[in-house]
Structure 1
Amino acid sequence: MDALIVTGAAGALGHAVVAQFRATGHPVVALGRPGERLDALGAQDGVHAVPVDLADRAAVQAAFAEVDALPVTPEGLVALAGGFVPGSLAEVDEEQLEGLWRSNFSSALWAAQAAAPRLAARGGGSIVLAGARTALTGAAPVAHATSKAAVVRLATVLAGELRGDRIRVNAVLPSTIDTPANRTWMTPKQAERAVAPEAIAKVIAFLCSPDAAPISGAAIPVYGDA
């Protein structure tokens, strides 16, 4: 049976994406950091949880080997794993830069590298990467915005490289997502304007669907009013 692979599945947006796919009957392989949240996802019907350090190439390759042993065939990858750390130019240091580069860019690259040959063997599929509005415009923390900009460029590069394998690659660009973590610092007005994870999940599901067959290499704004 065809399934979607979702990285960063234990996060707020990841949970919403998993729920969206399960609501339409798609099995999901949830990749993410080991822990209670991932275990809870894996306990759901139709969800296969695979713990992995997504910033580690060898670990990702091993995790996809585990996926190969499951009774599912990957039809798409939704790479949502990432991190956020505030910081102006003066505040950026090696630890922050390396951490965000690994969590945002490396995790997307290694997941796409592992997924691509499997999707090609199936006859094609879809990859959706998570960029950010700040990757393109506006004031932003330096290391976070530039690592997300690399993710957006990765999507366009892969769209061209994988086109011959009938693999579509797109990126979504969230602004502020309405999550419990973000609500700890948002004002009531900011919270009101933030984008619900469920709304973004619907856009991602569309990009993975046959209805989005003509779309590849796109960076889709999902800003809402935020």
Structure 2
Amino acid sequence: MERSVVVTGAAGALGRAVVTEFRGRGLEVIALDRAGDPLDELGKQDGVHPLAVDLADRAAVEEGWAAVDDLGTPSSLVALAGGFAPGSLADLDADTLDGLWQSNVSSLLWCCQAAAPRMAAAGGGAIVAVGSKTAISGQAPVAHAASKAAVVRVAEVLAEELRPQRIRVNAVLPSVIDTPANRAWMSADLAARAVAPAAIAKVIAFLCSEDAAPISGASVPVYGDA
């Protein structure tokens, strides 16, 4: 496989848009997500290679990347996997906090830990993480905002650590994404302002491309008007 990208959380709404964008650019996609019908359906697409992985489990991620090795060394990692939970400080409990940390932060760290030495051995690569507008400003559910703030900081730190290995690390910061799940609770006004997954996918693909070679350590707002 000459040109490929690993996408985590690939079976979600944003993940499917990212897969479509990269396939349109001629890259094979190695799609990592939890086992289930959405991943199975995604894997039926030409050029998409599904791998069921518990991304919050370090050992499972290591096994998953061993399977990635059988397909070749990807030029990019797009780490979309994550979770959301509403709630104020008064509502917060240990399970919610731990769950968001595992899904948003641990999943990113374990995949970066697996990807970095492989990319370095191949001469470099690009990593894109997904933070959130709430990571840097505004009202938000406290545990989600804290975990996404950690994602943003991880991307900044890894950009410096991996720069000598020619690995670029950036983050995108969505606000409200126009997905079926979000439309179930959005007002008509907010739905009209929400950002299409396909538009965010184009920004992600740019950050992975050679055109973005000078960019590392950036947190790119993809808020639209939301």
- Superposition TM-score, scaled by structure 1 size: 0.99
Matched, 1:57 2:78: no
What's the secondary structure of 2:151's corresponding residue? Answer: helix
Structure 1: which amino acid aligns with 2:73?
T
Provide structure 1 residue ranges, at least 5 long, that are not aligned to the other structure: none
Instruction: Provide the rounded CA distance (Å) in 2 between the counterparts of 1:123 and 1:5.
Output: 17
Instruction: Provide the rounded CA distance (Å) in 2 between the counterparts of 1:118 and 1:28.
Output: 17
Instruction: Provide the rounded CA distance (Å) in 1 between the counterparts of 2:73 and 2:80.
Output: 20
**Which residue is 2:196 aligned to?**
196
Matched, 1:170 2:170: yes
CA deviation after TM superposition for structure 1 residue 73, in Å: 2.3
What's the secondary structure of 2:42's corresponding residue? Answer: helix
CA deviation after TM superposition for structure 1 residue 7, in Å: 0.1
Instruction: Provide the rounded CA distance (Å) in 2 between the counterparts of 1:26 and 1:66.
Output: 18
**Which residue is 1:98 aligned to?**
98
CA deviation after TM superposition for structure 1 residue 43, in Å: 1.2
Structure 1: which amino acid aligns with 2:97?
L
Instruction: Provide the rounded CA distance (Å) in 2 between the counterparts of 1:97 and 1:137.
Output: 19
Deviation digits for residues 136-175 of structure 1 (CA, Å, limit 9, x no counterpart): 0000000000000000000000000000000000000000
Instruction: Provide the rounded CA distance (Å) in 1 between the counterparts of 2:112 and 2:192.
Output: 34
Structure 2: which amino acid aligns with 1:69?
D
% identity of equivalent residues = 69
What's the secondary structure of 1:161's corresponding residue? Answer: helix
Map residues 6-85 of structure 1 onto 2, 5 A cutoff.
Answer: 6-70=7-71, 72-85=72-85
Structure 2: which amino acid aligns with 1:77?
L
CA RMSD of aligned residues (A): 0.5
Instruction: Provide the rounded CA distance (Å) in 2 between the counterparts of 1:68 and 1:196.
Output: 32
Instruction: Provide the rounded CA distance (Å) in 2 between the counterparts of 1:3 and 1:24.
Output: 10
What's the secondary structure of 1:84's corresponding residue? Answer: coil
